[in-house]
Amino acid sequence: MIDVHPQSVISPRVRLGAGVRIGAYAVVGDDVELGDGTVLDHHAVVHGPAKLGRKNRIYPFAVIGGDPQDRAYAGESVAIEVGDENTFREFATVNRGTPKGGGVTRVGNGNLLMSYVHIGHDCQIGNRAEFVNGATLAGHVTVEDHATVGAFCPVHQFCRIGKYAYVAAHTVITQDVPPFSKIVAPRETRCYGLNSVGLERAGFDAARIEALEKAYRLFLRSKLNTTQALAEMRGTLSKSPDVLELIRFIETAERGVTK
């Protein structure tokens, strides 16, 4: 059963799945698809073209699918795609893509966007990531699975944040954040090694964590340069898929890697 409040504003060009609930004063624009069980609270807004999967929850005053904040945008048809079971808290904003960025902003499954989080145009968000209050992504940012972006963190355009990385509150990100790492900025943005507490909570066993700790010691604390450190990882830790993922991420960085 679909429950649409009579004081909401719903375009005739929408597709609503089973069990969708839309509250008072919510706005759903043209070419929006809301999957089964998705809930829009009062005053929530979804602009299209947009496709949202199952059981998403959009809290009051959040805006999903707003126009990209790009001076070059001239009204082209660009979109946003959202997976299943995401939570968008109050005043969170997620912009659609731009033609030069591929035209689509994507948010995967099970992500939590707390209040006042902003996801810019053409961002690509994985699964089970967390964005704490006020975290702000510029355009074209990639955030991989299970990453955490702390409160009031600005992330520069085209940066990547690797899987299981933890970025502490108020940290300014201008280079790629390697996977499994812990990034803190008491004075300057630095990598402080492995996000060991987060990995333990995620179910990583002692052997996986030990291999990553050895890799990060080579990367951060040895006298080897980055190329030499990666070669040493390949020679001594190549049996660890996690270490191979770390190597892949570093080698494909285009903005440099936070060390």
Please tell me the CATH code under which domain 3-198 is placed: 2.160.10.10
Task: Tell how strand 166-167 and strand 181-184 pair up.
Answer: parallel
pLDDT of the residue at 221: 87
Look up 121 and say whether it is catalytic. yes
Catalytic residue among 139, 150, 162, 198: 139
Task: Tell how strand 50-52 and strand 154-155 pair up.
Answer: unpaired
pLDDT digits (tens, 9 = 90+) for 26-49: 999 999 999 999 999 999 999 999
pLDDT of the residue at 187: 76
Look up 122 and say whether it is catalytic. yes
Helix H or strand E encompassing 212: helix 206-216
Average pLDDT over residues 216-224: 90
Token pair 């959040």: residue: 62
pLDDT digits (tens, 9 = 90+) for 154-177: 999 999 999 999 999 999 999 999
Domain extents in the chain: 3-198, 204-251
Catalytic residue among 43, 121, 140, 146: 121
Look up 139 and say whether it is catalytic. yes
φ, ψ of residue 168 in degrees (nearest 5): -70, 165
Q: Which of 27, 25, 22, 24 is nearest to 11 (CA)?
A: 27
Task: Tell how strand 104-107 and strand 118-119 pair up.
Answer: unpaired
Catalytic residue among 122, 140, 146, 242: 122
Average pLDDT over residues 89-109: 97
- The pTM of this model reads 0.92
Look up residue 240 and give its two tokens: 């660890």
pLDDT digits (tens, 9 = 90+) for 114-150: 999 999 999 999 999 999 999 999 999 999 999 999 9
Task: Tell how strand 14-16 and strand 32-34 pair up.
Answer: parallel
pLDDT bin (cut points 50, 70, 90) of residue 181 is: very high
| 58, 76, 181 from 26: Cα distances, Å | 10, 24, 39
pLDDT higher than threshold 90 for residue 241: yes
pLDDT digits (tens, 9 = 90+) for 60-86: 999 999 999 999 999 999 999 999 999
pLDDT of the residue at 129: 98
